[in-house]
Amino acid sequence: MLGEGILKGLGETARNFAGSFVSAERLTTVQYPEERIAPIEATRDFPFLVYDGEDWQAGMRCVACQICEKECPPKCIYIVKSTDKKPDALGKPQIYPARFDIDISVCMSCQICVEVCPFEAIKMDTEFELSTTDRFGGLLYDKKELSKSNEHYHKVHPTEAAEVDARLAEEKVKADAKAKAVAAAAAAKAAAPPAAAKPATPAVEKAAVVAPIPAAKAVEEETKG
């Protein structure tokens, strides 16, 4: 009969109306500022720079290789290389970023910078409450604002961070072993008969300079593989 469907529909809305007062699972709305749902682990929005240890400047993993800057599709990363070198997390002297800016109003959260970084230095954050009263300066993050500790990384992406840490530890062991082998070889040369003592001195110097380079190469190969 005409009108049956209308009555059925009215009954349905009435049931919804009354049900929303009775059963809590009908109201799926999360009342955001007071209530929150924990973000899922794969959440990502904007990149940050990871540092090891306590001091963000000393522990920064970034070596200003500028790969991320070149790969960034919307070109939101701006890096200035330092002119001097400074020991990195592994203790090797490295170039560091004198400036590292990300304009998060341009960033599209594609994560390409994270994928290309050979040093595990840039990772995605989950912070989303980024509103600011200054739309230019407030959304342009500099090195200091971008730096966050490895602990923070562990907090936002625990599984991924554990993998990264294991990889870095493995590399450190390898690099240490290599450095030790090189040092041992140099020591063996130095301990050679005194007749060869004269040409031995430059060899030692050379070994000391050369040593870090294969180590860095090894790291690069590891991460690419």
Residues contacting residue 96 through CB under 8 Å, at least 6 positions apart: 60, 62, 63, 64, 82, 85, 86, 88
* 6 sits near other proteins (criterion: CB under 8 A): yes
Terminal CA-CA length for the chain: 71
Asked if residue 124 lies in contact with residue 109, where contact means CB atoms within 8 angstroms, the answer is yes
Is the Cβ of residue 19 or residue 93 nearer to other proteins in the bound state?
A: 19
* 204 sits near other proteins (criterion: CB under 8 A): no
* 17 sits near other proteins (criterion: CB under 8 A): yes
Is the Cβ of residue 10 or residue 181 nearer to other proteins in the bound state?
A: 10
Instruction: Report the C-alpha gap between 9 and 5 in whole angstroms.
Output: 6
Please choose, from the candidates 127, 126, 111, 125, the residue with its C-alpha nearest in 3D space to the C-alpha of residue 68: 111
- Neighbouring CB atoms inside 10 A of 102's CB total 27
Its sign, for the CA torsion 73, 75, 78, 84, is positive
* 29 sits near other proteins (criterion: CB under 8 A): yes
Q: How many residues bind other proteins (CB under 8 A)?
A: 19
* 10 sits near other proteins (criterion: CB under 8 A): yes
* 12 sits near other proteins (criterion: CB under 8 A): yes
Classify 141 as helix, strand or coil.
Answer: strand
Among 22, 26, 70, 150, binds other proteins (CB under 8 A): 26
**Residue 148, both tokens:** 């966050």
Asked if residue 108 lies in contact with residue 74, where contact means CB atoms within 8 angstroms, the answer is yes
Is the Cβ of residue 11 or residue 87 nearer to other proteins in the bound state?
A: 11
Give min distance, CB of 99 to other proteins, in A: 42
Give min distance, CB of 37 to other proteins, in A: 16
* 73 sits near other proteins (criterion: CB under 8 A): no
Part in contact with other proteins (CB under 8 A); list of ranges 7-15, 138-146, 155-163, 187-195: 7-15
* 37 sits near other proteins (criterion: CB under 8 A): no
Give contact residues for other proteins (rule: CB under 8 A).
1-3, 6, 9-10, 12-14, 16-17, 19-21, 26-29, 31
